[in-house]
A and B are shown apart, each in its own frame.
Chain A
Amino acid sequence: MARRRRRLASRVRGYVRGFLAFLFSNVGVVVLVIAYTIGGAFMFQAIEGASEMERVSNMTRERDNTAQYLWQNVTLTLNLFNETALKERISIELLNYQRKIVFAVRRGWDGGISSRQWSFSSAFLYSMTVITTIGYGHLSPRTSWGKIVTIFYALLGMPLFLLYLSNVGDLLANWFKCIYALVCMCRGCPGFTRRRVVHFRSQLELSDVESIERPAGWRQEYSGSEITPEPIPYVPQHRPDPRRDYFRSISLPQPSRNPRPDPIRGWSEPLPRPGSVSSDFAYVTFDVQTITVPISACVAFMVGYLIFGSMLFGMWEKWDKLDGAYFCFISLSSIGFGDFVPGERVYTPRIETSFIVCSLYLMLGMALVAMCFNLMQEQVLHYYACLKRVIKRIYRCKR
Chain B
Amino acid sequence: MDRQNIHSSVHSSFRSRDSTSSTRSDPREKIKDCLRKFIAFMFTQVGVGALVVCYAILGAAGFMHIEKDSPDEQLENVKQWRQSCVEQLWNITNRYNVLNQTQWMYNSNHVLKIFQNNISNAIHQGYTGRTPEDIWSFPAALMYSLSVFTMIGYGNVVPKTTWGKVSTIAYACFGIPIYILYFCNMGKVLAQSFKWLYITAHECSRREDAMIEDGEIQPIKRKVTVPSTACLWVISFYILSGTIMFGAWEKWNYLDSTYFCVISLCKIGFGDFVPGANIADSAEGSHLKLVINFIYVLLGMGLVAMCYNLMCEDVQVKVRELREELKNCLDDITLKITVCMNDTKYYHQRQTRNVK
Contacts and interface: CB of A to CB of B under 8 A. Distances in A.
Contact of B78 (A83, A98, A110, A136): A98
A319 to B, nearest CB: 11
Contacts of A83: 90
A64 B154 contact: no
A90 B90 contact: yes
A326 interface: yes
B263 interface: yes
Contacts of A134: 153, 268
B45 to A, nearest CB: 21
Majority SS at the chain A contact face: helix
A227 interface: no
A262 interface: no
Given A137-B154, A154-B266, A336-B155, A70 B89 contact: yes
Contacts of A63: 109, 112-113, 116
Given A67-B112, A94-B85, A95-B82, A338 B120 contact: no
Given A94-B82, A111-B116, A130 B268 contact: yes
A335 B162 contact: no
Interface in B163-196: 165-166, 168-169, 172, 176
Interface string A322-334: 1101100110011
Given A147-B256, A336-B153, A102 B119 contact: yes
B240 interface: no
A357 interface: no
Given A63-B113, A70-B89, A94-B85, A336 B269 contact: yes
B117 A158 contact: no
Contacts of B172: 329-330, 333, 335
A113 interface: yes
A333 B176 CA distance: 9
Contacts of B117: 111-113
B121 interface: yes
B155 A67 contact: no
A281 interface: no
A87 B90 contact: yes
Contacts of B116: 63, 97, 101, 111-112
Given A111-B120, A135-B269, A333-B176, A338 B86 contact: no
B266 to A, nearest CB: 5
Contact of A339 (B82, B113, B126, B259): B126
B86 A101 contact: no
B148 interface: yes
Interface string A52-88: 0000000000011011101100011000100100110
Contacts of A374: none
Of A80, A111, A155, chain B has the most CB atoms within 10 Å of the CB of: A111
Given A71-B104, A98-B119, A151 B124 contact: no
Nearest to A142: B272
Contacts of B126: 339
B124 A137 contact: no
Interface residues of B, number: 58
Nearest to A145: B255
A336 B152 CA distance: 7
Majority SS at the chain B contact face: helix
Nearest to B165: A326
B82 A151 contact: no
Contact of A105 (B109, B123, B259): B123
Interface residues of A, number: 61
B198 interface: no
A140 interface: yes
B57 interface: no
A80 B93 contact: yes
Contacts of B82: 91, 94-95, 98
Contacts of B162: 322
Contact of B165 (A91, A111, A323): A323
A68 B105 contact: yes
A123 to B, nearest CB: 14
A95 to B, nearest CB: 7
A105 B269 CA distance: 19
A237 interface: no
Interface in A100-121: 101-102, 105-106, 108-113
A292 interface: no
Contacts of A97: 112, 115-116
A158 B89 CA distance: 53
A330 B35 CA distance: 44
A135 B153 contact: yes
B286 interface: no
B259 A147 contact: yes
A330 B144 CA distance: 13
A98 B127 CA distance: 12
Contact of B152 (A150, A329, A335): A335
B108 interface: yes
B328 to A, nearest CB: 23
A182 B104 CA distance: 77
Contacts of A350: none
A345 B124 contact: yes
Nearest to A105: B123
Of B101, B119, B262, B268, chain A has the most CB atoms within 10 Å of the CB of: B268
A344 B168 CA distance: 22
B271 interface: yes
A144 interface: yes
Contact of B155 (A95, A154, A337): A337
A133 interface: yes
A134 B166 CA distance: 20
B291 interface: no
B129 interface: yes
Contacts of A105: 119-120, 123-124
A286 to B, nearest CB: 30
20 contacts: A63-B113, A71-B104, A76-B98, A87-B90, A98-B82, A101-B120, A102-B128, A108-B272, A111-B120, A135-B269, A140-B272, A147-B255, A158-B266, A326-B165, A329-B172, A333-B172, A333-B176, A335-B147, A336-B269, A338-B270
Q: Which 6 residue pairs are nearest across A and B when measured between Cβ atoms?
A: A111-B120, A135-B268, A335-B153, A137-B270, A337-B155, A338-B155
Given A102-B129, A338-B270, 15 more contacts: A66-B112, A76-B98, A80-B93, A101-B123, A113-B120, A133-B267, A135-B267, A135-B269, A137-B154, A155-B262, A158-B266, A326-B165, A335-B148, A337-B155, A337-B271
Interface of B: 78, 82-83, 85-87, 89-90, 93, 98, 101, 104-105, 108-109, 112-113, 115-117, 119-121, 123-129, 147-148, 151-155, 158, 162, 165-166, 168-169, 172, 176, 255-256, 258-259, 262-263, 266-272
